[in-house]
Amino acid sequence: MLIKGFENTPIVAGEELLALPGFWAAYLMWLSQTEEHDASLYPFGVDGADADAACDALGDADHWPVFRIPFGDGHTALVLGRNFPDDPETEYFITHPEWGRHGHLATVSGHQAGPGLSWRELHHIARTPDLNAPGVHAEYARLLLLLPALGDQDLPEDAAAVLGGALAQAGVPTALAPPLAVALLADHPLWEPAEWTLPATSPLSASQEPFLGILHCDGYMSPRCGTSLAQGITREQSNRLAHALGTWPA
């Protein structure tokens, strides 16, 4: 069983697909599309046939690839291609063995939901692999796999440089990686960049005060707008999640 709750679906470990020469073009090309410019293979520096082969593997209706990204304290971010023939989608969520449900981050489909991660969280997860758990451990690949869930209006000045470095490690030609990074961060095709804030506490809230450390998103399409990332978990579990995400202690 790769994912609790998905026992009756054709899920397979997807990590071996990362070795396909056209994988990153197939996975990320759509993210560079804007109202002014169509998505293009050119910045990725790959052959069209390789990109097509990777697309076929990612979209295989009989084999739904899941990419496991283990990080702090037993948490795992998951990227799951739910390859329904008529309505495929990619789900982004976080899981933990002690939770009774998954923490929904984002959905990329015709019924999209997002953003699901701030840059702060994305960058921290990428840099904190759990080397004892199965999945993707290379920092650049972890960053790129979770990139489609990003939506942050307050990107740090070095965000494009960090992403450009990851793209170069993934095989994007050195000269093309920096402008591609800028394009991938510029305009998300599915949602607007959002503001991420920590919940305010009140001396009058008593036991009903919000869990500390878990960022809230102001994007109205986001699963993290006004709700906890993993509803139903305890305060102690929420504190551990916030620490694993790098957002608490502040």
Average pLDDT for 27-48: 84
Q: Express each pLDDT in 140-179 by its tens digit.
A: 999 999 999 999 999 999 999 999 999 999 999 999 999 9
Domain boundaries, the chain: 11-245
Residue 36 has pLDDT above 50, yes or no: yes
pLDDT score recorded for residue 243: 94
The model's confidence at residue 39, banded by pLDDT at 50, 70 and 90, is confident
pTM above 0.75, yes or no: yes
Cα separation, 119 vs 147, whole angstroms: 9
pLDDT score recorded for residue 250: 57
- 104 forms beta bridges with 93
Q: Express each pLDDT in 118-138 by its tens digit.
A: 999 999 999 999 999 999 999
Residue 81 has pLDDT above 90, yes or no: yes
Q: Express each pLDDT in 86-96 by its tens digit.
A: 889 999 999 99
ω into residue 210 within 30 of 0, thus cis? no
Any long-range contacts for 85-92 (C-beta under 8 Å, 24+ apart)?
A: 85/61, 88/59, 90/148, 92/116, 92/117, 92/146, 92/148, 92/149
Number of neighbouring beta carbons within 10 Å of residue 102: 20
Cα separation, 238 vs 222, whole angstroms: 19
ω into residue 249 within 30 of 0, thus cis? yes
Of 78, 92, 73, the residue nearest 130 (C-alpha):
73
Burial category of 118 from C-beta neighbours within 10 Å (exposed 0-12, middle 13-18, buried 19 and up): buried
pLDDT score recorded for residue 168: 98
Q: Are 217 and 115 in contact (CB under 8 A)?
A: yes
Lowest mean pLDDT among 14-28, 58-72, 205-219: 205-219
